[in-house]
Chain A
Amino acid sequence: MRYVFLIYLEEAKFAVMEAAEREAFEPAMLAYDEDLRGSGNYVTSSALMAPSEAVTVRTWDGRLAATDGPFAETKEHLSGFIVVEARDLNDAIQLAARMPLARAGSVEVRPMRKLAGEAED
């Protein structure tokens, strides 16, 4: 079964960190991805740009409306995601628990849903 790890980070938390500590996350996350590849769990992943770079789009009532930033204003922002293949939810939780960024932010483990009529991989 596929699960997505949604990684939420709080900027204030990173701002108060030592530079070395903050910078260590990037190579650690790359090594983590490599670990997931090695165990056959990795599907895909990406880091995301800051919410200040985002635009939210709606076409309610048929009219295009584009607003700055993310839909909701929260302290934690979606900063990246990883898609994994795992045996079950506990397997996925176990993998997520090893993620270096789980020590600084929060990781939402969400089962992915196949829509009816969607092609098998």
Chain B
Amino acid sequence: MTGGAPDALPAVEAAWREHSRRVLATLIRLLRDFDLAEEALHEAFLAAAATWPRDGIPANPRAWLVSAGRFKAIDRLRRRARFDKAAEELAREFEHEMEPAADENDMAIRDDQLRLIFTCCHPALPAEAQVALTLRELCGLTTEEIARAFLAATPAIAQRIVRAKAKIRDAGIPYEVPDGPELPERLDSVLRVIYLVFNEGYAAHSGAALTRADLSGEAIRLGRLMAELLPDAETFGLLALMLINESRRRARLSPEGEIVLLADQDRALWDRGLIAEGAALVDRAFATRHIGPYTLQAAIAAVHALAETAEETDWDQIVALYDVLMRAAPSPVVRLNRAVAVGMARGPDTGAELIAALLGEGELAGYHLAHAALADMLRRAGRPRAAHDAYAKALELCRLEPEQRFLRKRMEETRSLGGGDA
């Protein structure tokens, strides 16, 4: 490395972090194939590692990488033509297509990233495949990393990705940003995938690890990207919701790894910066007057986050927001949360009555948090024996170890009080 640029190799690494996903998104458009684009990306970076130290770092690394990737793909197809007849034809086709201008405008690049995320989250793909594909293609996680994050076997994740790509190819899923009447539904699909990734990182389904920061971090990164690329009420709402939940990460568990409920959390541990950012996004979303379920959930989270103490929580405001959410996106879980809020605003007896009625309808009968919520209301209402039974039911249904420990503790507390009540 004499006479060249001594910082070129770190520059290649920095370029990988900064540009690799964007270069990939553009290469998929130019080469019309995920696999070919991934190989081209890989080779473009190999070429960068070989030439940047000698020739210096190009003025526009992203454009350089796109151009190199495109040429490498053509080269590769030529080489492959010796054992794959179709490759030659494809190589000729790409060669005759115009090379994208080095200064292709930012709008095109922006759109490539949106094309990629909308394709990975296409509703024709199974939900689990959408998640795996998004993490691999947009976040740059390896198959092995995704498998670890979801506590799944690597070959199972690998096959999900293989099938998803085959489906994109065979079904001819177009590489485009949907518009018109299709957009809201497609956007919904993208936001759902991001929120799923966040929740997977925030509260693991089973096992000892209650929070997996990496997945939540990736989801927030995707949320920021979406809010930047597609400024819309619900993209702001989802990002706000994730940021406000994230702000409580350090307060959610005691040093011993035990769950700390919202009301008992040390609010000094909450990340005020994230809360402020989230609350500002909620305001922006409300200002658009197209308020959707993510914005409403974020608004509820913001009311909690902005209360100085648990006692100062504006429960009436929260009940009002849940009422709107019930109209926008009714679900049994929303009804449960509303019932809890009503209980906090108007007394535990009212809350217990509402939750018991919900459980009676059957849909939530297998949901441990519904029984835990009922138990909590009964405990507050001074009915420890009934609370004890509800905690026992919740414990029976709960799979997460820290939650199990929490429920067991509460159950024992109510047992010691459970002398005379009915």
Residues of chain B contacted by A40 (CB below 8 angstroms): 42-43, 46
Q: Digitize B141-184: 1 where CB-to-A-CB distance is under 8 Å, 0 elsewhere.
A: 01111000000001101100110000000000000000000000
Chief secondary structure at chain B's binding surface: helix
Smallest Cβ-Cβ distance to B144: which chain A residue: A88
- Contact yes or no, B83 A94, CB < 8 A: no
Q: Digitize A1-14: 1 where CB-to-B-CB distance is under 8 Å, 0 elsewhere.
A: 10000000000000
- Contact yes or no, B39 A94, CB < 8 A: yes
Q: How far is the CA of A31 from the CA of B42 in the complex (A)?
A: 20
Q: How far is the CA of A31 from the CA of B76 in the complex (A)?
A: 11
Q: Digitize B14-33: 1 where CB-to-A-CB distance is under 8 Å, 0 elsewhere.
A: 00000000000000000000
Q: How far is the CA of A34 from the CA of B145 in the complex (A)?
A: 30
- Contact yes or no, B142 A87, CB < 8 A: yes
Q: Digitize A33-52: 1 where CB-to-B-CB distance is under 8 Å, 0 elsewhere.
A: 01100111000000000000
Query: B84 on the interface (CB 8 Å rule)?
Result: yes
CB distance from A20 to the nearest CB of B (A): 14
Smallest Cβ-Cβ distance to A1: which chain B residue: B144
- Contact yes or no, B80 A35, CB < 8 A: yes
Chief secondary structure at chain A's binding surface: helix
Q: How far is the CA of A93 from the CA of B38 in the complex (A)?
A: 13
Query: B89 on the interface (CB 8 Å rule)?
Result: no
Query: A90 on the interface (CB 8 Å rule)?
Result: yes
Q: Digitize A71-100: 1 where CB-to-B-CB distance is under 8 Å, 0 elsewhere.
A: 000000000000000011111011000101
Q: How far is the CA of A27 from the CA of B84 in the complex (A)?
A: 12
- Contact yes or no, B76 A35, CB < 8 A: yes
- Contact yes or no, B38 A94, CB < 8 A: yes
On chain A, the number of residues with a Cβ less than 8 Å from chain B's Cβ atoms is: 21
Residues of chain B contacted by A1 (CB below 8 angstroms): 142, 144
Q: How far is the CA of A75 from the CA of B83 in the complex (A)?
A: 27
- Contact yes or no, A88 B143, CB < 8 A: yes
Residues of chain A contacted by B409 (CB below 8 angstroms): none
Query: A112 on the interface (CB 8 Å rule)?
Result: no
Query: B92 on the interface (CB 8 Å rule)?
Result: no
- Contact yes or no, A87 B42, CB < 8 A: yes
Query: A28 on the interface (CB 8 Å rule)?
Result: yes
Query: B290 on the interface (CB 8 Å rule)?
Result: no
Smallest Cβ-Cβ distance to B41: which chain A residue: A87
- Contact yes or no, A39 B83, CB < 8 A: no
Tell me the residues in window 58-82 of chain B with beta carbons closer than 8 Å to chain A beta carbons.
75-76, 79-80, 82
- Contact yes or no, A39 B142, CB < 8 A: no
Q: How far is the CA of A41 from the CA of B409 in the complex (A)?
A: 55
CB distance from A7 to the nearest CB of B (A): 15
Query: B136 on the interface (CB 8 Å rule)?
Result: yes
Q: How far is the CA of A91 from the CA of B143 in the complex (A)?
A: 9
Residues of chain A contacted by B277 (CB below 8 angstroms): none
Tell me the residues in window 228-281 of chain B with beta carbons closer than 8 Å to chain A beta carbons.
none
Q: How far is the CA of A43 from the CA of B244 in the complex (A)?
A: 48
Query: B95 on the interface (CB 8 Å rule)?
Result: no
- Contact yes or no, B76 A89, CB < 8 A: no
Query: B35 on the interface (CB 8 Å rule)?
Result: yes
- Contact yes or no, A38 B161, CB < 8 A: no
CB distance from A61 to the nearest CB of B (A): 36
Name B's A-contacting residues (CB within 8 A).
35, 38-39, 42-43, 46, 75-76, 79-80, 82-84, 136, 142-145, 154-155, 157-158, 161-162
A-B contact pairs, 21 of them (CB 8 A): A1-B144, A27-B83, A28-B82, A31-B79, A31-B80, A31-B82, A31-B83, A32-B83, A34-B79, A39-B39, A88-B136, A89-B155, A90-B136, A90-B158, A90-B161, A91-B38, A93-B158, A94-B35, A94-B39, A98-B80, A98-B84
